[in-house]
Amino acid sequence: MGLSAVTVLGVDRPGVIAAVTGSLADCGANIQDSTMTLLGGHVAMMLLVSGDLDSAELLKRLCAPDLVVTASAIEAQRHFCEEGGGLGYVLTVHGPDRPGIISAISAVLAEDGGNITGMSTRLTGRLYVLIADVELPKEVDVAALMRRLAAVGACLDSEITFRPVEPDLL
Amino acid sequence: MNARGGPLRAVVGGRKGTPREILDAPHPLLSATTEPVDPTAPEVVAAAADLLATLRRETSTPGLAAPQIGLSWRLIAFDTRLHPRTRSWAGELVLANPRLASASHWDPGREGCASIPGLTADVPRASRITVHAHLPGTGEPVTIEADALEARCIQHQLDHLDGLLILDRVPGALSLHRRLHSCDS
């Protein structure tokens, strides 16, 4: 049973998700992980689907008029964080829009082996907002990292917060 | 409700304020910590009246803080009476130097902000709070006990006094949203 990564992009309208997922079901594809959002009025979906059809056949049979659809075969690689394997943080950045904000911030995180596990950005008027879920290796000097983030934020005229995630495991 | 038992209506020294423009983020004043005020000082009373006049004009928002009208002072105004999710209602109030004395019963909720017109965010807040403050004009100390929407609104305004926006409170990457309708406010 193969695993395919499917991407869907198109103008948002009611029924887009129903059409795509209905067509996937008709192809016998089982949706595993998926995410969907609106990007500037466009619907953007990414799905991992499994089924008997390979990605090329799946793409051929998918019925999604007016949408840009891709499908690629991928290896199943699931990584579950082991207990004590990493530290979760939420990064927020907001300030005037300009090119290079994400690259500057993500480079600082990457220097310390920080992994962005989720991210959304929004532009509204002049305000640019970035929110990211970040996983840090346990040995990272978080105070030093925060100083470097603050320095980059100051260069971007942006406010930055970097807070530990505090899950309540009940 | 307030500690005197009934809802209050802000008078602000009998002055009629002038509505001011609301600043939009990004703006440095919205990220700055504000200064305590003398609630009886004439310029503070005038600012409180302006804040109240601005709140009365902005009918889509139940609260404002001084930085949103360009003043880096510890003043907030709120009136949640017309909001559908209001339970407690302390009145239409302007508070000087408000201080959160207690907070409990934390709940998530989706908030908008008059200074961030296009976005809303999921923000955890205490749903029961006690706030100590002074009334501009007389300087009379007051204690406000608020819950539900009024508690959320007051905490939102208190954040403004510390230079914090809802964007600084979101719990994760999926907690930021485009504003769809006015009920998000």
- In chain A (170 residues long), the average pLDDT of successive 10-residue segments reads 91 92 94 91 93 94 92 74 72 96 96 94 95 94 97 96 83
Q: Alpha-carbon distance B174 to A126, whole Å?
A: 21
The SS3 assignment for B101 reads: strand
pLDDT of residue B5 exceeding 80, the answer is: no
Mean pLDDT of chain B: 92
Instruction: Using an 8 Å CB-CB cutoff, list chain A residues near B119.
Output: 122, 124, 127, 129
pLDDT of residue B185 exceeding 50, the answer is: no
Q: Alpha-carbon distance B173 to A118, whole Å?
A: 6
Predicted confidence (pLDDT) per residue in B145-177, tens digit = 999 999 999 999 999 999 999 999 999 999 999
pTM: 0.86
Per-residue pLDDT, B2: 64
CB A161 within 8 A of CB A114: no
Under the banding of pLDDT at 50, 70 and 90, the label for residue B3 is low
Per-residue pLDDT, A65: 86
> What does the block give as tokens for B171?
């719990």
Q: Alpha-carbon distance A142 to A139, whole Å?
A: 9
Q: Alpha-carbon distance B123 to B111, whole Å?
A: 7
A49: which residues sit within 8 A by CB, 6+ positions away?
A: A3, A4, A6, A24, A29, A30, A31, A32, A58
Per-residue pLDDT, A166: 74
Region of A43 (left: φ > 0; alpha: ψ -120 to 50; beta: rest) is beta
Q: Alpha-carbon distance A41 to A13, whole Å?
A: 9
Q: What is the number of alpha carbons within 13 Å of residue A143 lying toward its C-beta?
A: 0
Instruction: Using an 8 Å CB-CB cutoff, list chain B residues near A128.
Output: 26
Per-residue pLDDT, B182: 45
Name which of B116, B168, B174 is nearest A92 (Cβ-Cβ): B168
A129–B119 C-beta distance less than 8 A: yes
Per-residue pLDDT, A1: 66
Please name the amino acid found at residue B35: E
Instruction: Using an 8 Å CB-CB cutoff, list chain B residues near A159.
Output: 26, 31, 165, 167-168
Per-residue pLDDT, A85: 67
Q: Express as a percent the part of chain B with pLDDT over 70.
A: 89
Per-residue pLDDT, A159: 96
- Please report the residues numbered 110 through 129 in chain A whose beta carbons come closer than 8 angstroms to any beta carbon of chain B: 118-120, 122, 124-129
Within 10 angstroms of residue B60's Cβ, the number of other Cβ atoms is 9
A42 touches chain B (CB under 8 A): no
Per-residue pLDDT, A139: 92
Under the banding of pLDDT at 50, 70 and 90, the label for residue B8 is low
CB A127 within 8 A of CB A85: no
Predicted confidence (pLDDT) per residue in B43-91, tens digit = 999 999 999 999 999 999 999 999 999 999 999 999 999 999 999 999 9
CB B24 within 8 A of CB B67: no
Instruction: Tell me whether the omega of the peptide bond preceding residue B26 falls within 30 degrees of 0, making it cis.
Output: yes
CB B93 within 8 A of CB B145: no
A102 touches chain B (CB under 8 A): no
Selection from B114, B129, B134 nearest residue B10 by Cα: B134
Q: How many Å lie between the alpha carbon of B24 and the closest alpha carbon of chain A? A: 8
Instruction: Using an 8 Å CB-CB cutoff, list chain A residues near B168.
Output: 92, 94, 159, 161
